[in-house]
Each structure stands twice: as C-alpha cells, then as structure tokens.
Structure 1
Amino acid sequence: MKQKISIDGMNCGHCKARVEKGLSGIEGVQEVNVSLENKEANVAFDESKVAINDLVEKIEDLGFTTTI
C-alpha cells in the first residue's frame, strides 16, 4: 500500500533525514520519499506488517505534526 502523509514542522534537511530514517527503520516499510518542499512523506508499506497509525505515531514521536 502507498500512503501520503502531510508533515508540519519540517523546515530543514536534517528534519527530512530524521523522518526518512525513522520510517525506514520500521519493519514492513518498503520505500520512503520525503519532500521538504511539499512537507509530506510518501510511504510504501506492507499492511500485513505495519499499520498507517504506526507510521503516523513514529513521525509524531520525532516531534512533527501529521495529517493523513
């Protein structure tokens, strides 16, 4: 499954890298593309291994606000 997640609070390359690293480390996540310009993450993941709520929770744990 692919999901776009809007992320508020990202304002630099370090923020982008933190989100990419955080999401990539979750089992079941297959691909992560984070756009600093659009303030969003496009995530491909295996629904049988990880839920969208797990992805959102990870981003929020990193200090950002999300919208699906």
Structure 2
Amino acid sequence: MKRFRTLSLTTLFTALLVAGPAAHAAERVVVLTIPGMICATCPVTIKHALSRLDGVKKTNIDLEGKEAWVTFDDQKASVAALIRATTDAGYPASVKP
C-alpha cells in the first residue's frame, strides 16, 4: 500500500509539472470600441495592427458598430497591449463596457 501511494504521488507531481504552465493559459475575448473608424480602410489597418501581436488568435472588425472583437491568449497578450496597438496605428480604443 505504501508503494502504491508513493507511485501515485510521484505520478501526480509529474503531471502537475508538465501541465502546470499550460493549465494557466486562457483564451479570452475582448470587445474594443474604436470610435475613429470611419472608412473601409480603417478595419484593415486595425486588423493588421492587432494581428501582429503575439498571442492574438482572431480578430473580427465591425466598421458600422465601430467595434473589434479580439480573441487572444492572456499569457502572451493583454488588453492594454491590444489598446496600445490600435492607438499606435492611429485608432484609440477602449474596452466596451
């Protein structure tokens, strides 16, 4: 019985060490409001700026609604980095409440 418990604990700790970092990564979706989008070229520029960030997996841009839905890995990117990317591209953004 003692040997079984030792083997079980060893297996558990090994599994936790291997899966630990990946277990904390989470895919998030944030909606950004971008009031400066006014023409057909704006979404292309914004999508390009966001897509260049490490961790951004998907972007959907709505010109009429002046919004961007961004799916990203929160271990590689942050909401602040997304906003900085759109702002640096000339389109200040904020998180939709």
Normalising by the smaller structure, the TM-score range is over 0.9
Alignment coverage as a number of residue pairs: 68
What residue ranges of structure 1 are gaps of 5+ in the alignment?
none
Of Structure 1 and Structure 2, the greater helix share is in: 2
Residues 1:65 and 2:75 are matched in the alignment: no
Residues 1:8 and 2:35 are matched in the alignment: yes
Moved over 3 A (4+): none
CA RMSD of aligned residues (A): 0.7
What residue ranges of structure 2 are gaps of 5+ in the alignment?
1-27
| TM-score after normalising by structure 2 | 0.68
| TM-score after normalising by structure 1 | 0.95
Of Structure 1 and Structure 2, the greater strand share is in: 1
Per the alignment, residue 63 of structure 2 pairs with 36
Q: How far did residue 8 of structure 1 move?
A: 1.3
Q: Which of structures 1 and 2 has the larger relative contact order (alpha carbons within 8 angstroms, sep 6+)? A: 1
